[in-house]
Chains A and B, each alone.
Chain A
């Protein structure tokens, strides 16, 4: 018995020390270490790869989050040539109105209308399949799928063409792969496949594949320079290198709005048109000015204050 009691005490000493060290430690860091251990970890998804859900004319991997609604109006004006038409601003080549809604953080649904040239109604879905992640379990890129169905509602001649509903449909399929390389620099690759049920002439191919490449560079917290090029694959007779779509411009973000200003040889603002080698000739100064204005609305009921 005389031996056991001191042994027992010896046994307790580490126990005692252990429970004492942490509270007794005055070091600020150790308390913060304890706090770090109990903190529920945050989401490590890379955010703000681009300022907007459009890189320029084409979709970016940015998404409309759950219960948010994006309303966007885009314009592209006429050719910047001479004061007669006030450098193209007298003519509107195309106006596009779109609504995009976030069903969840990973599913975005959209409806849009472009006036010229085909009075096109578009419905779309964008699925955010993979997100770039930083930190311990890093993942190098984001990947989204964008699919669209365009319905051309204009009047066609002859009557038979006008009645051919299937002939009014175009399909858009895009894989969007992006990487935020640094705080300022992000790049994107967008392989695109457009299928048109009926083309304007028999020589035009129904299916056209193009590769969108682009990126952005932040020049200040609120402004970035963006560039986007859709390189249509040279698989058909009517292919002209000069008519691939090149867009260069700015994103300017002011709180709930994002403005995009661009110079482009495209005359249409929906991918079913600008990604199929039908833009102006950018080597012949057929360049247009355009802009888009995005406003975000929150449909969610929680967090109202």
Chain B
């Protein structure tokens, strides 16, 4: 029985570890393209994300077909012509940060620097952004971030005919609440 204390420790460690893997399948990603001719806004409320606090890692999986646009034709063109979602169904991101997030206290961690890699449209590129991580009163964790994506960098070609309708750089907003 002298092993018993270490056993309990082992078990407890397991449980804590499991709780530190925070997940959501309903995170929100939206983007906005602004030009004098046309503003385009789309929203996806079915983003999957995992936040591993002990590893200080966060990852996202964004299915491109789940973006909803105001105009159905735009949604179709987005999937067909620009992101080719049948071939590249998802945009993925994995990044790490340095802050120690304490789940036991409600607190806002502003300016958390996340450094990572984005895979989008068959292209992998480094992506660094500033996020806000909030430990809420109800023990849920919210992560918010905003960053620009340059279409050309991900090999997304905008035809000359619609060049004045689509901004070369679109702004992406992430809003995820983990449980």
Contact = CB atoms under 8 A, between A and B. Distances in A.
A binds B: yes
Contact of A5 (B4, B69, B70): B4
B50 A254 contact: no
Contacts of B68: 303
B66 interface: yes
Nearest to B47: A39
B24 to A, nearest CB: 8
Contacts of A39: 25, 46, 48, 61, 63, 90
B146 interface: no
Nearest to B14: A19
B72 A16 contact: no
A67 B4 CA distance: 65
Interface in A237-268: 253-256, 258
Given A38-B23, A39-B25, A254 B161 contact: yes
Contacts of B57: 31
Contacts of B2: 5
B173 to A, nearest CB: 11
Interface string A1-34: 1000110110010011001101100001001101
A192 interface: no
Nearest to B18: A19
B38 interface: yes
A102 B52 CA distance: 44
A20 B25 contact: no
Nearest to A102: B72
A256 B73 contact: yes
Interface string B12-30: 0010011011010110000
A303 B162 CA distance: 22
A65 B72 contact: yes
Contact of A40 (B18, B48, B161): B48
**Most chain B beta-carbon neighbours within 10 Å: one of A12, A36, A40, A255:** A255
Given A32-B61, A39-B63, A304-B70, A48 B10 contact: no
Contacts of A22: 21
A35 interface: yes
Nearest to A48: B80
Given A23-B55, A255-B74, A305-B41, A35 B1 contact: no
A201 interface: no
A interface residue count range (under 10 / 10 to 19 / 20 to 34 / 35 or more):
35 or more
Contacts of B85: 42
Interface string A68-107: 1000000000000000000000000000000000100000
A220 B71 contact: no
**Which are the 8 A-B pairs with shortest beta-carbon distances?**
A305-B41, A65-B72, A42-B65, A35-B61, A39-B48, A48-B80, A40-B46, A42-B63
Interface of B: 1-4, 7, 10-11, 14, 17-18, 20-21, 23, 25-26, 32, 38-39, 41-43, 46, 48-50, 52, 54-55, 57, 59-61, 63-66, 68-74, 76-77, 79-81, 85-86, 89-90, 92, 94, 117, 157, 159, 161-162, 165
26 contacts: A5-B2, A9-B7, A12-B10, A23-B17, A23-B21, A28-B117, A31-B52, A31-B57, A31-B94, A35-B48, A35-B59, A38-B48, A39-B90, A40-B25, A43-B66, A46-B86, A222-B81, A222-B161, A222-B162, A255-B74, A255-B161, A302-B70, A303-B41, A303-B43, A303-B69, A305-B70
Given A32-B59, A305-B32, 14 more contacts: A23-B52, A31-B52, A35-B60, A38-B23, A40-B63, A42-B65, A48-B76, A68-B71, A134-B86, A221-B159, A254-B161, A255-B74, A255-B165, A256-B71
